[in-house]
Chains A and B, each alone.
Chain A
Amino acid sequence: MKNLLYKERRLAASPLSYFFLAFSLMTFLPGYPILVGSFFVCLGIFYSFQQARECGDVTYSVLLPVRKRDVVTAKYRFVLEIELAAFLLCAVFTALRMRLLGQAAVYAQNPMLNANLCYLGFILLNFALFNLIFLGGFFKTAYKFGVPFLIYTAAGILLVAAAEVLHHLPGLEGLNAPDRVDAPQLAVFGLGLLVFALGTFLSHSASVRRFERLDL
């Protein structure tokens, strides 16, 4: 697995997957749907899949002395590395924003979702959608990724819309608190964590099964 991951980083990965981690900085933007930053992170990962397909990466990989299922697992681990890096960056930026800038007027009066635990929960939900829809969809054929990415994009837009609407509902205003953590935020974060873990696990299991059955 270590060697396959090395292969992912050295041969298959697009530099854009790493450059797009910079979109985590959108965490600091006021008056903007900052969850879009995590969508751009997924777009960066998409470019790696595009590059890998154009380079015959899947065929090269399955002919290496590894099991076919390990090829799928290595792709998932590469994606998880990028998602984890993005999540940690967003978490650090969120903590900075809440601790040092929480009282700033641009955040205190921000009509859009503020960076807090609820935001981090939605990032995990977004990554769960990507892993379920895009990764799961890609491994049905191991070369068609356009439709899975389009479906993920539609689902991602709905998720961003839900994140922006939810904190305007009566009783859920606390979801948008710029400088404190409350129970509803914790609930969204917990839900994000659960869906991310479960969704990624299910997606990986289905992808391994599908890829084993594929004629390449």
Chain B
Amino acid sequence: MEILTENFAKAAKAAVSNDALQRAVKSATGGLLSKRARAVAEVPEWESLRETAQAIKTHTIAHLSEYVSRFSENAQRRSARVFLARDAAAANRYVVELAASHGVKSVVKSKSMVTEEIGLNRALQREGIEVVETDLGEYVIQLAGERPSHIIAPVLHKTQMEVAQLFAEKLGVASGASIESLTRAARESLRRKFLQAQMGISGGNFAIAETGSIVIVENEGNARLATSLPRLHVAIIGMEKLLPRWADVSVFLRLLARSATGQKMTSYVSILTGPKRADEPDGPQQLHIVLLDNGRCAIAADLEVREILNCIRCGACLNTCPVYRQTGGHAYGWAYPGPIGAVFTPLMVGLPRAASLPFASSLCGACESICPVRIPIPRMLLQLRRRLVESEHASVAASLAFKMWGFAMAGPARYRVAGALLRRLYPWVIRWSGRFGLLSGWTMFRELPPLAPEPFRRQWEKREKN
């Protein structure tokens, strides 16, 4: 996927003044949040589930290569073919060559963020292969020629009206159609695609090392069709989706659905172990599993931030993040928006290119407190900020400000002088604040607070003397 992370400040600014976007994002995330709250309240052992999940994930990431080989062995034993892809190019090449060698003309896809990450659709289309997104939200995105703006609700930034208009243009549906007729139109057009396709591509929510199985959760049944109708099924899965044991899955299924959509369970949970067997009536003839590294092993070795790989992509942190709720997902400029993206994206695309993202947070901590696997996102944002400053990616204004601050705060004598100086200069500070980078950021929307005639410490000294 094309990296547009450098554009964050500008894109965020535009998003904040886009009323339609604001309404769509706030109402959708608000809805998801209240459904989640109800679903979580039904589980008295929620906190201990989180703790268990965190422990399982942390263990798995610490032993990633071990579980990669165990998964590969067990999946191959069930006749799946496993390819370890070092990077996006290797993964795309594998799928493109596979498609070419089987004469594939048409591909159906179920929802997968990792294929957005590697830009798989474009790689296939470049070879003249038709790629159709079959998740309703992704289908809308594809028709509109846009990118997903949310991990689980890709079209969350659009209103129903906008979708209706798009369907009228692209599918010839009567304008102003109801949700029911819109979904029917999508269904009719997609059903044909499912039957024509020679290859189905999916992601995977979990990959079980013990059995070599992949787990896919969904609500529309499109993933089940895409993974069983075409004769080839390719699952692209980030290595961090591994779980050691079959028994671990239940913990995560409970956390994922409730955190993501507020459901007890998604409508469909598919656990796929190998391709169609001789005694089975249907299923793909071949199952190819692409386990994607693309930088994940390097993150797993980076102790300060490795827990970001614990993420199960529920999207709850996006819904609760006050910054995401203002900007929507596109501003973040890559596949993963919101708090998780503010950490994961810089680690994936390189910190200098995504230098805006770790600062795109008020450090309110809502993400960490909602996260089903308790990822300490604020702590990681702080680490990334430190790295950016260390590698001299801080702005000149900020560097100067903190040099001055550090000087003034180093000891009570300097602090006192700085306070006295501030009292002298403050009228001018107020008058000229619009001209100075950081200060104008304040006064653009707020008045400066009045300084106290005397600082507290001066008043305290006077009281002590009396």
Partners in one complex: no
B residues lining the A interface (CB < 8 Å): none
